[in-house]
Structure 1
């Protein structure tokens, strides 16, 4: 039996001082519990998962552990990593958080994308520039004649602090104000269309399109953009549009061969023209929740098998 440690940042106590943690905790718990249940269902894992006072009970069969008093999240994960064969971390890219955990755990225990892919995906600007250089469609190609512009944290997660501006001048002012406050910020053309995400299983520059998911976004006051959840697997396997989206996923994986395991890609499909990539999530996303059951597959077990095979071939 493989000894696997699961650490989800919010439910593991990593953001107790973050005012947004309470709002985001249900998403974190849902991902943690879906992953733990998947690993247990594989029949090949003993699972220990991090928890904290604010988190609910784990799925039956998993062992729980919590950080010691005064122990930082990195120290906590480092301590548990040496006691397990594999470590699966779900954490935001913001502030280099996911990258820090990858460096702390290191190969061969780390389950997930490599350091370079995490570094690139952790920056909205770096991601789009890298993909554009590899002939992957992005909003950057829509700069000429853009009807609106979006400003957001360059290393933010989801739609946190994202604002859509009808005029380039106001977008530039928003960008300058954020940068003047020392914040990470990025501006790109707004692409009107259907907001979707792609759930992928990645390995060595290849990607299998697992599902196409519908993202529910709401426009609020002052152009604020709010994420209100995801609806998984909304496009049937025989839908002809899937071929285009699978080809897009393949180009992204080829451009970033360090993407490994479960990966999410946020895209927009305009009424006319090719879909564009908005960002890459080099980790589990909310779309993982319920997906194994929906597809009739144990996705966590498949990720473990792929990474074991990759290491055996190294």
Structure 2
């Protein structure tokens, strides 16, 4: 099988724009971890899109280098005979992930990610929460932000289709409201949620035809800089004793959104009382993916390709430890 790896940030998606430093290190982490996993699989021919401004990764693979001025969609139309399947990693912002899913589907390529239907839903945080809530899945209360009112209490205001912590703000005072409202973009849709005390967590899971296969739970380490949340690190594979609870939660999500496929990240708050409240669904690789091999000894890419061949994933652990990923420098180490 010939697989094209297209990580949007490092793969030329922004070839005529400045590279966003806030997302670049996470992009490297995900891309490099995926390449390492795919290189372990026999009978795989690997092609990787490469923005010439970014750093390559080691391995026996073919780089498709994108230079400034290249129209990426046109280039990929010309190169489509070189690959059979695509592993796409892209932000949901402005429909980018959905647009490229549609592009490669039009080429009749196999996607190692969720379907267009799932991506279209999950890129809209508010509609995702409505869908899950209607199915009985507990979520953080979420509403469209319309009026420029300064609500009392502590609130989280976020772009409805942003990626990561981009445009995710914590509002605790009149000063915070004034500072953040001045930054909001008229073209964007925003949602508002009550700030709920607890741990910022995520679940790594595989999905296939309405079934869920829980991999691990991860803790997100956040700090606030000028009212905005910033992800500084994540610890992969924590709270293993709650695996049964997390599997049930993933299964509930699979039943609500059966179009989810392959690796998916689920962000949630675990409250001080232990309740899990969903924040959003990421239908693609997440930063936590980069630590799963070291934490559990499982090659997730192998398991995704098993799913693509209608085979059950094998999630047998050959090791078990917590792994901390520092986002700023990309260092991965045992906790």
TM-score band w.r.t. shorter chain: 0.7 to 0.9
C-alpha spacing 1:298/1:30, structure 2 compared with 1 (3 Å)? same
Q: Distance in 2 between matches of 1:275 and 1:168?
A: 30
Aligned to 2:102: 103
Q: Distance in 2 between matches of 1:246 and 1:147?
A: 33
Aligned pairs for 1:1-314 (under 5 A) are: 2-19=1-18, 21-67=20-66, 70-106=69-105, 107-140=108-141, 147-166=153-172, 178=184, 181-221=186-226, 223-236=227-240, 239=241, 241-272=242-273, 274-309=275-310
C-alpha spacing 1:169/1:8, structure 2 compared with 1 (3 Å)? same
Q: Distance in 2 between matches of 1:202 and 1:137?
A: 19
Q: Which moved more, 1:201-210 or 1:81-90?
A: 81-90
Any idea what SS the aligned residue of 2:110 has?
Answer: coil
What is the Cα deviation at residue 76 of structure 1? 3.5
Q: Do the aligned residues in 2 keep the contact of 1:78 with 1:104 (CA within 8 Å)?
A: no
The answer for unaligned runs of 5 or more in structure 2 is: 144-150, 312-335
What is the Cα deviation at residue 52 of structure 1? 2.0
Any idea what SS the aligned residue of 1:283 has?
Answer: coil
Q: Do the aligned residues in 2 keep the contact of 1:197 with 1:215 (CA within 8 Å)?
A: yes
Any idea what SS the aligned residue of 2:310 has?
Answer: helix
Q: Do the aligned residues in 2 keep the contact of 1:202 with 1:259 (CA within 8 Å)?
A: yes
Q: Distance in 2 between matches of 1:77 and 1:207?
A: 33
TM-score by length of 1: 0.88
C-alpha spacing 1:250/1:173, structure 2 compared with 1 (3 Å)? farther
C-alpha spacing 1:273/1:86, structure 2 compared with 1 (3 Å)? same
CA RMSD of aligned residues (A): 2.7
Structure richer in helix, relative to its length: 1
TM-score by length of 2: 0.83
What is the Cα deviation at residue 229 of structure 1? 2.2
Q: Do the aligned residues in 1 keep the contact of 2:48 with 2:63 (CA within 8 Å)?
A: yes
Q: Do the aligned residues in 1 keep the contact of 2:165 with 2:230 (CA within 8 Å)?
A: yes
The answer for unaligned runs of 5 or more in structure 1 is: none
